[in-house]
């Protein structure tokens, strides 16, 4: 029977020589490498373990572990066995994890050994039957249990419309929603990018991103695997180690913060990058000054692209010069098979005019997990997905993102939803109300800032509010500054004027 299982397609691209190196770990004390055969065998054993649990079809496998090659193998094994992968940011704390597990009801949860106590308690409470551990040093019950399994496994037959992964994101409003991505969404996008970015024999990818979001998990990993390409693997981004790896590599992908930090390294030179074919940036706006500084230092133009958890990749600056130059401040053209339009008040905007970005294509997700009404709201009647991004198409057809209609801050490539942080602050004793905004930051692109109004007579301190938040939520969401004020600026409708707060604080982290 024919199958659209994403793993099977990736597996089919493994090189003939299975003993060649697939992954070289470049940040451990001792060099460590994994062959294609290791990937094949370990994913088979893990898939057999999952199958031995006799899980219902469509079961979710939620994973919060440190980045490791074994964690990647687990992702591939979940695809291979035909279950649904649910990656979770390692920075999430108990309240965040409780929400995701409660909402997704995973049959299996895999966590770091040090978190087993609290994670298993939350998981068992939510009805999860199996909780395994996986450490970044190959420790834990998952690999121990898998070691007793056979190393042969036939990938489960899955159709293009079958679910492969759920990624939690807040969409345009409200609480975090699970974006359901199918095998077909991801495979079609991976194939499009393979062709558009000219993946070729001999390519080697430096992988330095986290593997719980679209950029590191899908764009980078699917790209390398679908090309049978070796990865040089860094569990944590370290600019010096990336630079040391570049002479053995051809492709690098990063959020803008990674490029800013690499630019701060004197070792970033034309010579260091001379073997590199492609630098890709995305997940947040790449400032033209970063694009220009990079070109000056390395002689190479970063290729900026744009995507979302709900859609994987949507647009890309051209790879092939015959298709045009890479233009700073733009995210390029809609990818082949992706349709994109800019709309305002129910009509298509002429070139140059600003409106909401809407998209269609085989890459667009299957909807929000158990939220058919919300899903409907985020699509137009004629089937276009409303991205919540605001932009225009310039005279040459390049898409430019000029803002967001969704209240979202992107800090160092991570999304922060102001309403969530405001909720935590407003629940604190002595707080009357608060407003959270993003302001320019030289390292993170945007930084989270909270403006808080105390209740009459309450004695509050900004630093204490930040410390209390740090104990509750992922550290990257914690405001870099908490300002106390007597009142928030409001318009005549009573709505908080966040633009005024952003304006007031825009120079807060300015350098020079």
Q: Which of 106, 140, 254, 282 binds ligand AMP (CB under 6 A)?
A: 282
Q: Which stretch binds ligand AMP (CB under 6 A): 68-76, 303-311, 441-449, 450-458?
A: 303-311
Measured between alpha carbons, how far is 480 from 440 in angstroms, rounded to an integer? Answer: 12
Q: Which of 43, 192, 283, 330 binds ligand MCA (CB under 6 A)?
A: 283
285 belongs to the binding site for ligand AMP (CB under 6 A): yes
Report, in Å, the least distance between residue 38 CB and ligand MCA. Answer: 25
- Which residues face 131 on adjacent strands? 109
Maximum distance among all Cα pairs of the chain, rounded to whole angstroms: 73
Contact predicate 46/72, CB 8 Å: no
Q: Which stretch binds ligand AMP (CB under 6 A): 22-30, 80-88, 188-196, 305-313?
A: 305-313
As a whole number of Å, the end-to-end CA separation of the chain is 63
For ligand MCA, the closer CB: 103 or 411: 411
Give the 3-state secondary structure of residue 130: strand
Contact predicate 377/248, CB 8 Å: no
Report, in Å, the least distance between residue 126 CB and ligand MCA. Answer: 26
476 belongs to the binding site for ligand MCA (CB under 6 A): yes
How many of the other CB atoms lie within 10 Å of CB of 347?
A: 8
204 phi/psi in degrees, rounded to 5: -130, 130
- Strand runs labelled E in 222-351: 230-233, 251-254, 278-281, 303-308, 312-316, 333-334, 339-344, 347-348
401 binds, among ligand MCA, ligand AMP, none (CB under 5 to 8 A by kind): ligand AMP
Site for ligand AMP in 393-412 (CB under 6 A): 401, 404, 410
Site for ligand MCA in 285-324 (CB under 6 A): 307-309
239 binds, among ligand AMP, ligand MCA, none (CB under 5 to 8 A by kind): none
215 binds, among ligand MCA, ligand AMP, none (CB under 5 to 8 A by kind): ligand MCA
For ligand MCA, the closer CB: 55 or 167: 167
Contact predicate 291/298, CB 8 Å: no
181 belongs to the binding site for ligand MCA (CB under 6 A): no
90 belongs to the binding site for ligand MCA (CB under 6 A): no
Site for ligand AMP in 198-227 (CB under 6 A): 214
Measured between alpha carbons, how far is 137 from 122 in angstroms, rounded to an integer? Answer: 24
For ligand MCA, the closer CB: 307 or 391: 307
**Binding pattern for the stretch 430-469 against ligand MCA, x by CB under 6 A and - elsewhere:** --------------x-------------------------
Torsional sign, CA 228, 234, 239, 244: negative
83 belongs to the binding site for ligand MCA (CB under 6 A): no
**Binding pattern for the stretch 396-415 against ligand MCA, x by CB under 6 A and - elsewhere:** ---------------xxxx-
Strand order in the sheet with 399-404: 347-348, 339-344, 355-360, 385-393, 399-404
Q: What is the DSSP string of 14-62?
A: S-S-TTSEEEEE-SSSS-EEEEHHHHHHHHHHHHHHHHHTTPPTT-EEE
147 belongs to the binding site for ligand MCA (CB under 6 A): no
Give the nearest residue (CB) to ligand AMP.
Answer: 309
Site for ligand MCA in 200-259 (CB under 6 A): 209-210, 213-216, 236-237, 255, 257
304 belongs to the binding site for ligand AMP (CB under 6 A): yes
192 belongs to the binding site for ligand AMP (CB under 6 A): no
Site for ligand AMP in 315-354 (CB under 6 A): 331
Chain centroid offset of residue 10 CA: 20
Chain centroid offset of residue 338 CA: 20
Q: Which stretch binds ligand AMP (CB under 6 A): 33-41, 107-115, 304-312, 499-507?
A: 304-312
Chain centroid offset of residue 224 CA: 17
Smallest Cα–Cα separation from 234: which of 23, 26, 24?
A: 26
Give the nearest residue (CB) to ligand MCA.
Answer: 412
Q: State the angle between helix axes of 94-104 and 116-125 in degrees (0 to 180), rounded to the nearest 10.
A: 30
Contact predicate 338/319, CB 8 Å: no
Report, in Å, the least distance between residue 148 CB and ligand AMP. Answer: 38
Q: Which of 106, 135, 239, 282 binds ligand MCA (CB under 6 A)?
A: 282
Q: Which of 284, 303, 390, 409 binds ligand AMP (CB under 6 A)?
A: 284
404 binds, among ligand AMP, ligand MCA, none (CB under 5 to 8 A by kind): ligand AMP
In terms of Cβ atoms closer than 10 Å to its own Cβ (0-12, 13-18, 19+), residue 406 is middle
Kindly list the residues in this chain that would bind ligand AMP in the complex (CB under 6 A): 169, 214, 282-285, 304, 306-309, 331, 387-389, 401, 404, 410, 415
């Amino acid at each position: 029977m024919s199958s659209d299982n994403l793993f099977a397609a990736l597996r089919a691209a493994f090189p003939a020589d299975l003993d060649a190196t697939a992954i070289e770990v470049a940040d451990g004390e001792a060099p460590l490498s994994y062959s294609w055969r290791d990937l094949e065998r370990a994913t088979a054993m893990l898939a057999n373990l999952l199958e031995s649990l006799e899980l219902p079809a469509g079961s979710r496998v939620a994973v919060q572990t440190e980045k490791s090659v074994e964690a990647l193998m687990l992702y591939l094994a979940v695809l291979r066995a035909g279950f649904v992968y649910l990656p979770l940011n390692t920075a999430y704390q108990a309240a965040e994890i409780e929400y995701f597990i409660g909402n997704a009801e995973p049959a299996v949860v895999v966590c770091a050994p040090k978190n087993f106590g609290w994670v298993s308690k939350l998981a068992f409470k939510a009805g999860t039957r199996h909780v395994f551990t996986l450490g970044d040093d190959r420790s834990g019950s998952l690999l121990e249990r898998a070691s007793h399994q056979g190393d042969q496994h036939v990938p489960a037959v899955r159709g293009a419309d079958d679910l492969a992964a759920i990624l939690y994101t807040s969409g345009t409003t409200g609480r975090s929603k699970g974006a359901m991505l199918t095998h077909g969404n991801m495979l079609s996008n991976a194939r499009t990018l393979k062709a558009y970015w000219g993946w070729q024999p001999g390519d080697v990818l430096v992988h330095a991103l986290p593997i719980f979001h679209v950029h590191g998990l899908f764009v980078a990993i699917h790209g390398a695997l679908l090309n049978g390409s070796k990865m040089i693997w860094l569990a944590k981004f370290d600019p010096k180690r990336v630079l040391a790896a570049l002479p053995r590599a051809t492709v690098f992908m990063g959020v803008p913060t990674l490029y800013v930090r690499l630019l701060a390294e004197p070792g970033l030179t034309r010579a260091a990058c001379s073997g590199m074919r492609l630098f890709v940036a995305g997940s947040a706006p790449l400032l033209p000054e970063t694009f220009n500084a990079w070109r000056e230092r390395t002689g190479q133009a970063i290729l900026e692209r744009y995507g979302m958890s709900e859609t994987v990749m949507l647009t890309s600056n051209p790879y092939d010069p015959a298709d045009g130059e890479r233009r700073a401040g733009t995210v390029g053209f809609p990818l082949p098979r992706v349709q994109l339009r800019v709309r305002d008040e129910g009509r298509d905007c002429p070139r140059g005019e600003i409106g909401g970005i809407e998209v269609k294509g085989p890459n667009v997700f299957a909807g929000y997990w158990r939220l058919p009404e919300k899903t409907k709201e985020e699509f137009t009647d004629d089937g276009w997905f409303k991205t919540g991004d605001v932009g225009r198409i310039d005279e040459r057809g390049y898409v430019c993102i000029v803002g967001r209609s969704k209240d979202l801050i992107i800090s160092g490539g991570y999304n922060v939803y102001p309403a969530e942080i405001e909720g935590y602050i407003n629940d604190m004793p002595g707080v009357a109300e608060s407003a959270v905004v993003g302001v320019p930051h030289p390292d993170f692109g945007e930084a989270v800032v909270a403006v808080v109004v105390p209740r009459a007579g309450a004695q509050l301190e900004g630093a204490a509010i930040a410390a209390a938040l740090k104990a509750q939520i992922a550290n990257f969401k914690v405001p870099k500054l908490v300002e106390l004020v007597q009142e928030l600026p409001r318009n005549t409708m009573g709505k908080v004027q966040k633009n005024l707060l952003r304006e007031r604080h825009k120079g807060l982290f300015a350098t020079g």
